[in-house]
Amino acid sequence: MLYSSCSPATLARDLDVMRSYRPVRAQVLDMFPQTAHLEVLLLLQRALG
């Protein structure tokens, strides 16, 4: 699953809720280079077990 977030707080909250998925890879995207705003694109994989 791909998850896109613009807020570290909601990313952490959602990852805590989606415990059946584990992060595989993340990419920070600077969509607005003149600001402090960042996007995070996260590849999640269903955890086995």
**List 1, 4, 6, 23, catalytic entry:** 6
| Catalytic residue status for 6 | yes
DSSP 15-49: HHH-TTEEEEEEEEE-SSTTSS--EEEEEEEEPP-
Is residue 29 a contact partner of residue 41, using CB atoms and an 8 Å limit? yes
Catalytic site positions? 6
